[in-house]
Amino acid sequence: MRWAAQIGAKPVMKRFIRESADLASIRQRLLADGANPKVVQIERNLLQRLTSNRQELLSHAR
């Protein structure tokens, strides 16, 4: 968080951390309950958002 604040990306880092935790929860749910198509789609959406967040973070670091 300190690094992100220094480069003006604290909100993006907060979102990245929150969505990473959400992804961990969803993956645990998939392991416990099996590959429910609705949950697989949620996982896919989270992965796309995390990729976007990571790209945004890196753009601030340049």
Residue 62 has pLDDT above 90, yes or no: no
* 1-52 tens-digit pLDDT: 999 999 999 999 999 999 999 999 999 999 999 999 999 999 999 999 999 9
| Cα–Cα distance measured from residue 9 to residue 39, given in angstroms and rounded to the nearest whole number | 29
Query: How far is CA 50 from each of CA 17, 28, 34, rounded to the nearest angstrom?
Result: 9, 17, 23
Report how far apart the first and last C-alpha atoms of the chain are (Å, whole number).
Answer: 17
Give this prediction's pTM: 0.84
**Overall number of domains in the chain:** 1
Helix (H, G, I), strand (E, B) or coil at 22: helix
Domain around 36? 2-61
Residues 6+ apart with CB under 8 A from 39: 26, 29, 30, 33
